[in-house]
Structure 1
């Protein structure tokens, strides 16, 4: 019997000394913020050349957001469009790139649909998230395809010394009920974590109710409520085998159903099941030499029921293997890695080709000396469908003074066509195009940071040119896009108040037509003031964006908007805390996608029990 490529790769790796796990490294950070997504190695956030943002568990709980999509929506450089209420399909445009151009990693593994190429952000519940790292800008030299716009890496809950149970129950507008329970702990060499929960909401009508017929909308009377339900669980464990060796396992699974509008007579729904499981082994082979091997699999399964006769099941699986060495040098550190991914698709749709293999080799070096910082990355991907692609990144930083730092970088990136774009069957309205080529990008950026211990300011200019952009149906490599922008972020801690604000200006255009890319506002921003005390905390937020266009011809305009939210926490007793959040206080009516409704003013209240 012939061994599969994955089995052969595993056997070869286990016969050698083992390697590194980015997710495992992030768990060890103490003191100053430490990130791993920017270089695939541990690095202080203030030494990173790339633009990166970190959201920790404490911030997630204080914000009181009910979903990952809501949390990401106000971040600098992020534009999000949703097709309805809670749990509806969400498209994220990071620095103006297409939604399929942002790579989603969960605990170091790729998670998302191989058929559409889109990350199912709406399926990831915040209750199981420990930490999020958002890397803005192309990162194919580190992660390969899908990273033209950037990378979002999510780390699920992790264990710590002792025994730490937690219970949470919350209720809110649109008949929303969220409940979760977690247990994390550890003793001696063992650390473990377990989280379970369910989010339910009856929601509101996904489509905006309008007269029976409108020339721009068609029939759009949908009086029903389109609800959402998501059940989930996650687990992880790590054990120190010897003084320098560690072993870990991790898994999560979500099972959701989202109702949506297609016509006036049937309640259509979409079942989404997303899961991932992996194991890793980390060895310290010598002084400053760490080696980690990781194996895992992620799955994305959809069951779309339009009516009694129209049903479609789609599933995709990504089997993954990673092997990485990190070597600390007299100056900086060296990273060398091998990755293997086998993607499979199936279901009711008959794809002519239903799998592809990717083998990748990558090298990286990053380090600082005197006032200088450098980052070099090179990656070679061998794709069974398209052949070879090589991408690179060069970054340089210079500390002008203890407070001021300037940095610049140039990077190339690519994105492989999805299975739908390549092999979707021709149903009479066109089908996939097997002759498609990958999309390519060249990004240049320069930035300035200032930090005096009280204030932190970061200004970044970027220019990302994307060619061979896939568009139309049947899809073709037709377009060239220019994604150019300026990001400005500020934060400070003054007199016990935490202040944050950000604004970004984005010029995302189709270079052939000169039109702006759909659903991407030219101007967006946010502001927040927060007060944290021993027993209570409160905050007020504002976020908004300017006008956008729904279509490529720029004829259907989406108006700009600004929203105000507020939240507060109060500790009733050492183990009990009440949490409140009021969204859209002024009850603004706005759209993220033309024709689809968004939430009005609503309140969410919860109670959290955390024994000390």
Structure 2
């Protein structure tokens, strides 16, 4: 029998916190608006949190060709890539694994139901308008999986009056070819956006040719990647903040690997519809419905080996109550339904999660406060209570102190619970990569920080500690670890003027399995990046350094060596809307492996022509 969406009645769990009603708010404008993700779309700024916001202008200035290139080395972000474009790319926040990073696309939760994480490598950068990253345990706001934080990706939109067209073509080393086109605009109350993109590369040899480790194969060939995508939005706005908006992003990818499975066909699509009433007296109502599809067919030398088709449906309803000039109380409920269809036999193939939540945002003079509480009803694992408290105190016009504490709940994926044993041709036995007795993971994060904002220079530093219970050690014979601890710090220095943009990100992590004393897998102690760009009239030049220290390989793999690599870029605007771009990746042709056994790209040169207005 098909289960229907169910929104349980909301409990009045935040009644007492309404005492945060404020009158005079002298710091409201000084603290400034926070990103949508930090406020969970509530129509009031949340207190300053550890966050990174990447705009379309920064994406274009960086000339990055993928999300991995754009995000690597950012504050609090660690990343692994297994062999270049389109290959498995895991991004984690504050020392937590990729499965503990909740990812949303235009407000819709995305990710593979079977793998328990999002395959960010197939999201085309050409279709992205803005990226928001909020670090720390965020399950109280966004539900399961937000143990390390939340990444929200917003697709291109039409925000300017009239119609604007942009696009470009490019080519370079290793047979890379790319092209994209976008049109968008606004006509009175209607805005629209439509884009298409193609990216293709012949790649390089992704994996070391050793049948006894890494890919367990000897395939000395180039491993290519092809991605085609389309994106669209259509919205209508009416008085006092009301709107109706539909959106979609779809991509089709072909990926070549090394190994027993050496090719995959991946189809991803996200659809969503959101609406909000205009403000009626002291309240408004918001609703969102979404669907994310992740279909993957895996081949070995042209023969189908496995198919994993997953679907995630989400529904959310929230009411915002304006209790004062700068205080908003949000009460809501949501539901997520996960379904899996596969050629591999799983004991369970579907799971529901329902939740009620509340959130209070308020500015009390120089103090910003956000309180979030949530209760999840997971069909498989029962109830889970999570929450967070975030504070920001404006000492002066420039200095702000921040602090916070949050908890998170992460349910094991279908792969971790039910994937059948795999035959090992070397040992003649079956290896287990799943465990049906795994318990949900739970984390608690406490943080503190300071921010200084000058006219052109800003400084931001945060320290944090995350304690985990029952965190899962993945790989061969996965188990729950009794206790883990991650301590860390991050520093961001930035400078921006009319002609200069410079930013330095650095992250320090100390990770520990408290029972064994071992470091957690693939979490480098140090990581960071430096970006500098200068505009000289019609010319612009820039460069990036990115690197990290060694990291633990795990109980069955060698450690991963540290590395530093450099990129250069430049462009020339030869007409009002036209420019030529060029970049050199891995300038010094550094030969390194981000993860043992998997190569990084050698030096490459790329050129492109772009039009935009």
| TM above 0.5 | yes
Q: Among residues 578, 581, 584, which one is paired with 1:579 in the alignment? A: 581
**Residues 393, 320 of structure 1: CA spacing in aligned structure 2 closer, same or farther, 3 A cutoff?**
same
Q: What SS does structure 2 have at the residue aligned with 1:228?
A: strand
Report how far residue 42 of structure 1 moved. Answer: 5.1
Q: Residue 19 of structure 2 aligns with which residue?
A: none
2-structure distance, mates of 1:52, 1:232: 28
Gaps of 5+ in 1: 13-30
The answer to whether the aligner puts 1:169 opposite 2:169 as a matched pair is: yes
Match for 1:489 among 474, 487, 492?
A: 492
Report Cα offsets for 1:213-265 as digits up to 9, x if no partner.
Answer: 7x7669764321100001100111001356653211001111101100016xx
Within 1, Cα distance between the matches of 2:410 and 2:497?
Answer: 44
Q: For the Cα contact (< 8 Å) 1:174–1:202, is it kept in 2?
A: yes
Matches within 5 A, 1:512-527: 512-527=515-530
Q: Deviations over 1:417-474 (max 9, x none)?
A: 1111122234532364333221000110000111122221111000001110122544
Secondary structure in 1 matching 2:277: strand
> Is the partner of 2:146 in helix, strand or coil?
coil
Q: 1:147-166 maps to which residues of 2 (within 5 A)?
A: 147-160=146-159, 161-166=161-166
Aligned counterpart, 2:358: 363
**Given the superposition, is the C-alpha separation of residues 216 and 185 from structure 1 closer, same or farther in structure 2, using an over 3 Å criterion?**
closer
In the alignment, what sits opposite 1:18? none
Q: Which residue of 2 aligns with 1:227?
A: 224
Do 1:35 and 1:42's aligned partners in 2 also have CA atoms closer than 8 Å? no
Distance 1:276 1:471 in 2: 30
Give CA-to-partner distance per residue, 1:514-537, whole Å, 9 cap, x none: 111122110112212211355232
Match of 1:16 in 2: none
What is the alpha-carbon distance in structure 2 between the residues aligned to residue 43 and residue 281 of structure 1?
Answer: 14
Does residue 531 of structure 1 match 2:534?
Answer: yes
Distance in 1 (CA, whole Å) between partners of 2:33 and 2:404 is 22
Contact 1:35 1:44 in 2 (8 A): no
- Give the distance between the partners of 1:153 and 1:568, measured in 2 at CA: 29
The residue matched to 1:5 in structure 2 has which SS?
coil
In the alignment, which residue of structure 1 is the partner of 2:242? 245
Bigger mean CA deviation after superposition, 156-165 or 123-132: 156-165
Paired residue secondary structure (1:598): coil
Task: Write the distance in 2 (CA, Å) between the matches of 1:400 and 1:112.
Answer: 40
- Residues 288 and 579 of structure 1: CA distance in aligned 2, closer, same or farther (over 3 Å): farther
Q: Contact (CA 8 Å) 1:487, 1:504: kept in 2 or not?
A: yes
Q: Partner residue of 2:255?
A: 258
CA contact (8 A) 2:215 2:258 kept: no
2:108 aligned with 1:109: yes
Give the CA deviation at 1:287. Answer: 3.3
Q: What displacement does 1:363 show? A: 0.4
Q: Deviations over 1:335-394 (max 9, x none)?
A: 111111110011201222111111111101111122111111000000010110010111
Name the counterpart of 2:454.
Answer: 452
> Which residue is equivalent to 1:381?
376
Bigger shift: residues 301-310 or 54-63: 301-310
1:492 Cα deviation from its structure 2 partner: 1.8
| Matched position secondary structure for 1:356 | strand
What's the CA shift for 1:268? Answer: 1.7
Task: Quote the RMSD (CA, aligned, Å).
Answer: 2.3
1:188 matched to 2:185? The reply is no
CA contact 1:140–1:414 (8 Å) conserved in 2: yes
Kept after mapping to 1: 8 A contact 2:216/2:259: no
Choose which of 323, 326, 329 in structure 1 pairs with 2:320.
Answer: 326
Does 1:510 pair with 2:513?
Answer: yes
Displacement, 1:496? 3.7
1:67 paired to 2:66 = yes
Match of 2:386 in 1: 391
Q: Which residue of 2 aligns with 1:206?
A: 206
Whether the aligned pair in 1 keeps the contact of 2:205 and 2:222 (CA below 8 Å) is yes
Q: Structure 2, unaligned stretches of length 5 or more?
A: 11-30, 423-429
Q: Which of 342, 361, 369 pairs up with 2:337?
A: 342
Number of aligned residue pairs: 582
Does the residue aligned with 2:471 lie in a helix, a strand or coil? strand
Give the match for residue 26 of structure 1. none
Q: TM-score under structure 1 normalisation?
A: 0.91
Match of 1:436 in 2: 438
Q: Which residue is equivalent to 1:38?
A: 38
1:477: Cα distance to partner? 2.0
1:284 aligns to 2:282 (yes or no): no
**8 A Cα contact 1:519 1:592, kept in partner:** no
TM-score normalised over the length of structure 2: 0.90
| CA contact 1:132–1:153 (8 Å) conserved in 2 | yes
Residues 11-50 of structure 1 mapped to structure 2, 5 A cutoff: 34-41=34-41, 48-50=47-49
Q: Using the alignment, how far apart are the partners of 1:527 and 1:609 within structure 2?
A: 28
Asked if 1 retains the 8 angstrom alpha-carbon contact of 2:242 and 2:279, the reply is no
Equivalent residue number for residue 126 of structure 2:
127
Q: What residue number does 1:17 align with? A: none
DSSP-derived class of the 1:421 partner: helix
SS at match of 1:61: helix
User: Residue in 2 aligned with 1:27?
Assistant: none
1:315 correspondence with 2:318: no
Q: Is the 8 A contact 2:48 2:391 kept in 1?
A: yes
Q: Is residue 208–residue 214 contact of structure 2 (8 Å, CA) maintained in 1?
A: no
CA distances 1:87-143 after superposition (whole Å, capped 9, x unpaired): 101111211101111111000001110111111100101000000001111110011
2:549 to 542, 546, 549: 546
Structure-2 change in CA distance of 1:572 and 1:178 (3 Å): same
Change in Cα spacing, 1:329 to 1:587, as seen in structure 2 (3 Å) is same
- The equivalent position to 1:423 in structure 2, one of 406, 418, 424, is 418
- Contact 2:227–2:251 (CA under 8 A) maintained in structure 1: yes
Distance 1:155 1:183, change over 3 A: same
1:28: which partner in 2? none
Whole-angstrom distance in 2 between the partners of 1:250 and 1:587: 41
CA apart distance, 1:599:
0.7
| Separation (CA, whole Å) in 1 of partners of 2:469 and 2:434 | 20
Q: Deviations over 1:145-178 (max 9, x none)?
A: 1110111000001113211112210111111001
Q: Distance in 2 between matches of 1:295 and 1:137?
A: 26
Deviations, residues 375-418 of structure 1 (Å, cap 9, x unaligned): 11000000010110010111222111211111111111110011
